[in-house]
Amino acid sequence: MIPRIALTPGEPAGVGPELSVKIAQRGSHAQLIAIADPNLLEQTAHRLKLPLQLLPLSEGAPVSATPPGSLYIRASPLAQSAQPGALSTANAPYVLKTLEMAADGCLNGQFDALVTGPVHKGIINEAGVSFSGHTEFFAERAGVPQVVMMLAAEDLRVALVTTHLPLKDVSAAITGERLESVTEILHRSLCQQFRIDSPRIGVCGLNPHAGETGHLGREEIEVIEPALARLRDRGLHLVGPLPADTLFTPPQLAHFDAVLAMYHDQGLPVLKFKGFGNAVNITLGLPFIRTSVDHGTALDLAGSGKASCGSLQAALCQAIELAQLQNH
């Protein structure tokens, strides 16, 4: 089975186009389909002095692997020419259009999975479009009420109860209902997508020392522990709430298939320290497979040829693996 993998390079002024051209040099046993402006990719390849052949995606043609130095292409034109490192609100609609095309292609069965390069949330918002990130965008596009952000590096998987929120808003956002829905999505995805029988999940507390029996906060007692008890009654294997600083140690992590962190900067610094440059962002709960790089647009590196494609390669490998498991 040759998976059909859609690739969105993301912000055209960032490193995404460069990483897409670099990853094309390796070839793939998947059909790797870039949803992008063809001129942008060709100009990027010319600047990097790398070969690039853009292959047409013919309706009804047999699915073929991707030869080295090439990408299949589904064209979406830029509004204006992009310069490395120079953001422009004019191209924000282009970025969103590529995401729409990719998501819709996954939803209607044209693609088996989606790999996304980094976007710049700020410039999209400056263009007048409320945009908090890929994760939320794809959830709305797919019409699902809840998705979960999980990052993976080597043998560590970290999922988040809350994602892109100011720290002052995190406590109020952690309700019993939200905690239960996020944990169930994580559990179901580990079973169905990753083929893990009876996954073991370690759950972080919100406060230092997991609240220290109420002396450092009562969220663990009043919200987290009751929610976990209800989930255990449904058969989920959960341990916690545990202090994050002890849960994220090798002896503790050895007991778990995934960790559930309460907020973005509780879990992701550990994950990125362990595997930055080779970590993968995976959206759980969508009706299609979506993986992404673990880094941003790196405007300071754009055009230099120095950006590493390690995370994009890892995201592609993860997408292919999940697509193959799904189709078995």
**Which residues make up each annotated binding site for substrate?**
134-135, 272, 281, 290
Residue ranges for the known binding site are: 134-135, 164, 209, 264, 272, 281, 290
185 to 10, 27, 190, 264, 318: CA distances (angstroms): 27, 33, 9, 17, 19
For 320, the token pair is 């292919």
What is the enclosing helix (H) or strand (E) of 247?
Answer: helix 244-247
Beta strands at 280-284 and 200-204: parallel, antiparallel or unpaired: unpaired
Other beta carbons within 10 angstroms of residue 24's beta carbon come to 27
3-state secondary structure of 59: coil
Query: Measuring CA to CA, which residue among 166, 197, 167, 199 is closest to residue 183?
Result: 199
The tokens describing 79, both together, are: 């509004």
